[in-house]
Amino acid sequence: MAIRPRRSALYMPGSNARTLEKAKTLAADVVIFDLEDAVAPEAKDLARDQVMAAVAGGGYGNRELVVRINGLDTPWGLTDLARAAEVAPDAILVPKVSSPSQLITVGQALAPAPEKTRVWAMIETPLAILNLREIAASAEDPVTRLSCFVLGTNDLVKETRAALDENRTAALFWLSAAVTAARAFGIDVLDGVYNAFRDLEGFRRECQQGRQLGMDGKTLIHPDQIAPANEIFSPTEEEVAWARKIIAAFEQPENQGKGAITVDGRMVELLHRQMAQRTVALAEAIAAKS
């Protein structure tokens, strides 16, 4: 089971050279070089040049490098995509994906790029929520290279006119639907950003909630958010100990061939062993990073 931890995915405005450099020293699992919403129209060309130079130049260690391009219906999108394909980041993040056809177009344009370059899709329009199943299912078509969803909760709030309380009540449907669709087709899914980046208490609460909903990690806007996201999206020591106990229990001679056993007074089934194996694999992948 090869698991890539994606607990923390930090956006950097492609136009801000300082942040692109700074990311080389930050403990984010993923860095997202943004050419889209964080970059003003006048700065699009500069941002593109800076981002491609940064990706080609390297120095980011084992951080996963992702380039968020502009939409293909904008004046910049096609050039962003062609230039990104040349520098071959780990993934290209496509904004405002609302149907599989956009991913097929991107995938076809990416054909010359190495296989390692995957495609991630922003889920941030009402139509994307309605089409989640078809969008996620397009991961089965190798042309799309689709391997991860990223929630764009700010755009969803704008488009739906919802207002989010501290429990994100209005967003629960979007978040759960995205997790469910991602899991149905074996892709990862990252939660949206927390705008009030000085409020680390509120941020931690939202990370916990995202984790409880099944998210693999959270997208971030500020370095201060990295450590709490890494902590909260890592299995805890107790979870890892419990997982190891379940795996060990199934290995006992008296439990061979059994589907359900008792561990510490709880029923444990083979499905729990599979969950335990994933927990241990994720913990080991995280430990291997440092």
CB of 18 to ligand COA, least distance (A): 5
Binding mask 38-57 for ligand COA (x = CB under 6 A): x-------------------
Of 125, 126, 131, 119, nearest to 89 (Cα)? 119
Do residues 99 and 127 touch, judged by C-beta distance below 8 A? yes
C-alpha 261/C-alpha 255 separation (Å) is: 7
C-alpha 11/C-alpha 151 separation (Å) is: 13
For residue 12, state whether it binds ligand COA (rule: CB under 6 A).
yes
For residue 18, state whether it binds ligand COA (rule: CB under 6 A).
yes
172-191 positions binding ligand COA, by CB under 6 A: none
How far, rounded to the nearest angstrom, does the alpha carbon of residue 196 sit from its chain's CA centroid? Answer: 20
Residue-wise DSSP of 121-170: EEE-SHHHHHTHHHHHHGGGSTTT-EEEEEE-HHHHHHHHT----TT-GG
Total site size for Mg ion, rule CB under 5 A: 4
Of 23 and 280, CB closest to ligand COA: 23
In sequence order, the β-bridge partners of residue 263 are: 266
Q: Which of 5, 13, 77, 228 binds ligand COA (CB under 6 A)?
A: 13
CB of 275 to ligand COA, least distance (A): 32
C-alpha 216/C-alpha 209 separation (Å) is: 12
Do residues 203 and 226 touch, judged by C-beta distance below 8 A? no
Q: Which of 64, 155, 188, 206 binds Mg ion (CB under 5 A)?
A: 155
> Torsion angle of alpha carbons 145, 151, 155, 156, nearest 10°?
110
Name the binder of 210 from ligand COA, Mg ion, none, CB < 5-8 A by kind: none
For residue 152, state whether it binds Mg ion (rule: CB under 5 A).
yes
CB of 60 to ligand COA, least distance (A): 12
For residue 11, state whether it binds ligand COA (rule: CB under 6 A).
yes
Q: Which of 4, 222, 244, 278 binds ligand COA (CB under 6 A)?
A: 222
Residues contributing to the site for Mg ion (CB under 5 A): 37, 124, 152, 155
Residues contributing to the site for ligand COA (CB under 6 A): 10-13, 18-19, 22-23, 34, 37-38, 193, 221-223
